[in-house]
């Protein structure tokens, strides 16, 4: 069973209302209270430079606005369950964020990011393990509401090596730092702000949209229902290597908007990164692993309990304190000045219920990102990615018995298969920090169900930043 009740679903937003909502958000973006900046999680590109003392930026205000309209096609759907995807539907999401940064003392930055959110994902963000919009959270509301996704302090301790310039952007003050350094982040932020940061596929406001493209599908990272948590992370940069580690609060129950404070249920994440150059083109390889420690159900135990007492499997009835482990590899490689390649592959324990992210036990993804200089549009970007998601035998039995996952559950699963998807996008730069993106996704075997689909998902994204 889902630990939280699904929000009441309004009727599909008609085009006139969607236009009105978009106009209101655009007006907000041009007011002093609105904002825009790519919420990138990868470190700013830094180059060796000699800086005069006192050059470091003291404070900064950045902002971003993102609107996404997403539509699904009709598809074969002979039956449905509580978490099934519906054919022929459309939903929209919008958010506006302020990024407020201040330099507190040498090497220390504090950041607050108040945000307004509005809208829903397709079927209240249900129906696909690789969900098609990273801008859709597991909660939604018809009217805009205020949140504080991030409130953190970052301390950088210089350890030597060449001095690098750091360009100003959202979540990063303009300044300088040593190549070798220790960085400690404490407070409320996203695990993806520090870990699993691909240069080409990590930001649903600027590149791909699908959950299992922008992050590894097996990375069941600690987070509330909006994707943020409380914890601490440390990064040690030395030469071409970086070692990262962190500890974070899990939700109080799986897929919950509420965190479990005090470290009673927590996650430890480790990541080793190596940066390299091949034929003059930079790249990096990252190995990321995690251990979630919390009250989780063994899937076979939930199925056995349901068979003994009747009804469908209920994970809450058999939860006990245990671990869920997972790991994945990420490769980023520039192939040419304007062409980049990325790939991710990994697995997670499939005998335990998924806790925070989505219902994926094995995942492999690869893709390309191409700048538009070749056709005279240097600020444009095009991307293409393919993903295969799979689940364990235990999760197949659980879903076949009528169990519900974090995002999926058709009530039965007589003919399971791998969930496969293809995503392509074109981001058209309109000038003044504004981009309009057309996105298309094709999915076969949605929710690992060969009886349903295939389907297409179309999206229009407007993103502005300053």
pLDDT for the residue 121: 96
Q: Can you tell me the mean pLDDT for 251-259? A: 92
Residue 145 domain-assigned (yes or no): yes
Is 255's pLDDT higher than 90?
Answer: no
Residue 157's pLDDT band, with cuts at 50, 70 and 90, is very high
Is 1 domain-assigned? no
In a domain, 34, yes or no: yes
The CA distance from 342 to 331, in Å, is: 5
Distance (Å, whole) CA 313 – CA 304:
8
What does DSSP say about strands 362-372 and 339-348: parallel, antiparallel, or unpaired?
antiparallel
**Environment class of 165 (CB within 10 Å of its CB; exposed 0-12, middle 13-18, buried 19+):** middle
18: confidence class by pLDDT, cuts 50, 70, 90: very low
Residue 445 in domain: yes
Domain count, the chain: 1
Is residue 425 assigned to a domain? yes
Where in 32-89 does DSSP place strands (E)?
Answer: 46-48, 59-72
Exposure string over 3-23, b if 16+ CB within 10 A, otherwise e: bbeeeeeeeebeeeebeebbe
| Eight-class DSSP state of 85 | P
What CATH number does the domain containing 59 carry? Answer: 2.40.160.180
Asked whether residue 359 is assigned to any structural domain, the reply reads yes
Model's pTM, two decimal places?
A: 0.86
Is 24 within a domain? yes
| Residue 91, domain extent | 15-465
Strands 90-105 and 362-372: unpaired
Q: Tell me, what DSSP letter sits at residue 311?
A: S
In tens, the pLDDT along 193-244 reads 999 999 999 999 999 999 999 999 999 999 999 999 999 999 999 999 999 9
Q: Tell me what pLDDT residue 262 has.
A: 82
In sequence order, what E strands does 136-259 have?
141-147, 151-166, 175-189, 229-238, 241-249
Q: Is residue 401 part of a domain?
A: yes
Q: Which of 159, 157, 233 lies closest to 189 in space, CA to CA?
A: 233
């Amino acid at each position: 069973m889902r630990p939280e009740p699904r929000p009441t679903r309004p009727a599909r937003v008609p085009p006139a209302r969607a236009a009105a909502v978009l106009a209101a958000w655009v007006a907000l973006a041009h007011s002093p209270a609105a904002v825009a900046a790519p919420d990138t999680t990868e470190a700013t590109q830094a180059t060796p430079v000699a800086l005069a003392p006192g050059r470091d930026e003291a404070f900064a205000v950045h902002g971003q606005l993102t609107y996404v309209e997403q539509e699904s096609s009709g598809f074969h759907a002979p039956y449905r369950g509580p978490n099934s995807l519906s054919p022929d539907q459309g939903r929209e999401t919008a958010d506006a964020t302020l990024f407020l940064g201040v330099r507190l003392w040498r090497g220390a930055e504090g950041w607050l990011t108040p945000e307004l959110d509005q809208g829903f994902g397709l079927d209240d963000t249900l129906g696909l393990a690789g969900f098609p919009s990273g801008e859709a959270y597991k909660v939604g509301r018809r009217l805009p509401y205020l949140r504080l996704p991030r409130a953190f302090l970052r301390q950088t301790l210089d350890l030597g090596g060449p001095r690098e310039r750091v360009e100003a952007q959202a979540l990063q003050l303009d300044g300088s730092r040593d190549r070798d350094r220790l960085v400690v982040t404490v407070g409320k932020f996203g695990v993806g702000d520090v870990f699993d940061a691909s240069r080409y596929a990590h930001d649903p406001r600027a590149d791909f949209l699908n959950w299992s493209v922008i992050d590894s599908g097996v990375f069941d990272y600690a987070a509330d229902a909006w994707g943020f948590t409380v914890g601490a992370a440390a990064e040690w940069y030395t030469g071409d290597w970086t070692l990262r580690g962190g500890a974070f609060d899990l939700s109080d129950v799986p897929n919950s908007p509420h965190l479990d404070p005090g470290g009673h249920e927590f996650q430890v994440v480790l990541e080793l990164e190596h940066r390299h150059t091949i034929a003059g083109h930079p790249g990096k390889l990252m190995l990321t692993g995690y251990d979630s420690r919390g009250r989780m159900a063994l899937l076979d135990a939930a199925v056995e309990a349901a068979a003994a007492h009747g009804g469908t499997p209920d994970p809450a009835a058999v939860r006990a304190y245990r671990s869920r482990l997972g790991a994945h590899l990420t490769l980023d490689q520039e192939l040419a000045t304007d062409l980049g390649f990325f790939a991710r592959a990994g697995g997670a324990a499939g005998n335990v219920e998924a806790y925070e992210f989505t219902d994926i036990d094995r995942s492999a993804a690869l893709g390309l990102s191409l700048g538009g200089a070749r056709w005279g549009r240097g600020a444009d970007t095009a991307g293409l990615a393919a993903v295969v998601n799979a689940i364990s035998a235990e999760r197949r039995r659980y879903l076949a018995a009528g169990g519900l996952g974090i995002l999926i559950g058709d009530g039965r699963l007589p003919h399971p298969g791998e969930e496969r998807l293809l995503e392509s996008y074109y981001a058209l730069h309109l000038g003044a920090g504004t981009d309009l993106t057309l996105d298309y996704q094709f999915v076969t075997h949605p929710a690992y169900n060969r009886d349903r689909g295939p389907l297409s998902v179309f999206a229009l994204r407007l993103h502005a930043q300053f």
